[in-house]
Amino acid sequence: MAQIKVRNPLNGQFDYAFEASSVNDVRAQAQVARRAQADWFGKGLEHRIRVLKAWAESLERHTPAIAQALSADTGRHRISHEEIGAIVYFIHGFCAAAPEVLAQPFKKFKNNADVVFKTTYIPYPLVGVISPWNFPLVLSFIDAIPALVAGATVLVKPSEVTPRFVDPLLSSIAEVPELAGVINLVRGGPEVGQAVIAASDAIVFTGSVPTGRKIALAAAEAFIPAFLELGGKDPAVVLAGSDLSRAATSILRSAIYNSGQVCYAIERVYVDETIHDEFVAELVKQTATLRRSLAGGDGGHYGPFIFEKQGAIVGAQLDDAVAKGARILTGGKVETLDGAVWMDPTIVVDVNHGMTLMTEETFGPVVPVMKFKTVAEAAALANDTIYGLSGAVFGPDTHTAGDVATLVFAGGVSINDTELPRGMQFDGEKTAFKMSGMGGSRYGATSMLRYVRKRALMANEGQVKPLSVLEET
């Protein structure tokens, strides 16, 4: 087996290593999962809910170790604890919703009262999950948990960039014997991901569009469904009459959260020309209050790049923008300090869609701001993208901003705030538009139905049709 070394983003040291799973390891894990699935589904929903709630309790007991591992891989403290809390929340939320969502009562045919039917939900036996490095734990289980509740077993491959949480997580799983073979984790690079696809009955992937395309093709070859949550280039539109302090705070919070390494981060801002300068001044003023976080709990607002190559990608976009006339007002430099790769919050003006900064996913703490003259122009700019994950519109009131929000072609559009879809996990549904994803909604309690096939059972409780119906007339 190949050994993979892992870099600590806070100091640049390769201070952890793990043995990558082989293709045979993946196949063996898949066989274990398939054997476990019959019992996992067969014992019924109440059993699954009880076991998953026991795991939630175990996760809470193992929080210190899991959070420490996440922090070592990501260079952040608070968000690592948030990830664990989110998983516990997902477990309880899907377990609470499942009895209603998965209910299977008999109903009568509308055109024949003698026939009753019901739809039964048969889970895909094994759901494979391939997750990215920016939220290692959450994005490994945001889809795995509803699949588990629905009765599938899961085979999860976290990113090889951020794998340290796997060991303490496995310890939490081991405390719940009924989960043996139900939750399975493998580690490694792309070849392990390919093996997961080949071994699964359905595949879930969160990550970039180029990799998502490859996974969709591999899934098509295997004739299995693929559920893809891909990149974003989220726009924010700021209309005349907006509360500029509120808009600046909301946009900056979104752009800087996790140092911009978020698929739904605001990555481009369109501002009415009559308020552009005032808005930019407010943005710069608020940016000056932010500082680096060099250690957990130090009061800093943002950390280094998790994946060091991301710094070079962001730097190249900024170089391209400046070469084409953009001006950087704050930040803008990729710096290596004691092995960590940093970029301070970066405000950029005089940008246009001829720059990669405005058209390609940035995944860094950058806020480019562009003027518009009319609402129609703002909507056209917001929609001039291959992406359609989410976005935001700010205006003087909900009605005015809401009218413009309906013009934005994205799955979730926040009004007078950003990131509102994050809180919608069980309350509503949204899908990604364009190349930001495919395969149904990850949001909403009914998202667990992505992981089942529907079988109709029908019974005729009346008379059968006589042979005379076959007579020619």
Q: Is 263 a catalytic residue?
A: yes
More confident residue, 104 or 64: 64
Residue 459 has a pLDDT of 95
**Is the separation of the CB atoms in 191 and 25 below 8 Å?**
no
DSSP conformation letters of 298-357: S--SB---SSHHHHHHHHHHHHHHHHTT-EEEE----EEETTEEE---EEEES--TTSGG
Residue 106 has a pLDDT of 87
Average pLDDT, the chain: 96
Per-residue model confidence as pLDDT tens digits over 402-433: 999 999 999 999 999 999 998 888 888 999 99
Per-residue model confidence as pLDDT tens digits over 119-159: 999 999 999 999 999 999 999 999 999 999 999 999 999 99
Task: Compute φ and ψ for 36, nearest 5 degrees.
Answer: -70, -25
**Amino acid occupying residue 255:** A
| Residue 1 banded pLDDT, cuts 50, 70, 90 | low
Cα 443 from Cα 409, distance rounded (Å): 18
Cα 9 from Cα 12, distance rounded (Å): 5
**Is the separation of the CB atoms in 117 and 457 below 8 Å?**
yes
Cα 221 from Cα 448, distance rounded (Å): 24
Averaged pLDDT, 363-388:
98
- CATH 3.40.605.10 residue spans of the chain: 3-230+436-458
Averaged pLDDT, 361-371:
98
- Give the domain 3-230+436-458 fold: Aldehyde Dehydrogenase; Chain A, domain 1 (3.40.605)
Q: Is 308 a catalytic residue?
A: no
Which region holds residue 12: left if phi is over 0, alpha if psi is between -120 and 50, else beta? Answer: left
Per-residue model confidence as pLDDT tens digits over 15-37: 999 999 999 999 999 999 999 99
More confident residue, 421 or 327: 327
> To 5 degrees, how large is the angle CA 232–CA 440–CA 154?
95
Per-residue model confidence as pLDDT tens digits over 232-290: 999 999 999 999 999 999 999 999 999 999 999 999 999 999 999 999 999 999 999 99
Residue 134 has a pLDDT of 97
Q: Which of the following is catalytic: 83, 229, 360, 361?
A: 229
Q: Which of the following is catalytic: 83, 95, 160, 263?
A: 263
> 3-class DSSP state for residue 454?
strand
Averaged pLDDT, 110-124:
93
Answer whether 0.85 is exceeded by the pTM: yes
**Is the separation of the CB atoms in 186 and 162 below 8 Å?**
no
The DSSP code for 406 is T
Instruction: Measure CA of the first residue to CA of the last residue in the chain; give whole Å.
Output: 74
**Is the separation of the CB atoms in 334 and 314 below 8 Å?**
yes
- CATH 3.40.309.10 residue spans of the chain: 234-423
Tokens representing 67 are: 């959070």
**Which CATH number among 3.40.309.10, 1.10.1040.10, 3.40.50.10860, 3.40.50.720 corresponds to the domain 234-423?**
3.40.309.10
Residue 425 has a pLDDT of 85
Residue 411 has a pLDDT of 96
CA 141 vs. chain centroid, Å, equals 10
Closest CA relative to residue 231, chosen from 437, 438, 441, 440: 437
**Is the separation of the CB atoms in 355 and 320 below 8 Å?**
yes
Tokens representing 68 are: 């420490």
**Is the separation of the CB atoms in 236 and 270 below 8 Å?**
yes
Pairing type for strands 3-7 and 14-19 reads: antiparallel
Task: Compute φ and ψ for 267, nearest 5 degrees.
Answer: -120, 0
| Residue 104 banded pLDDT, cuts 50, 70, 90 | confident
Per-residue model confidence as pLDDT tens digits over 394-404: 999 999 999 99
Element spanning 135, H or E:
none
Residue 296 has a pLDDT of 82
Residue 28 has a pLDDT of 98
Averaged pLDDT, 359-384:
98
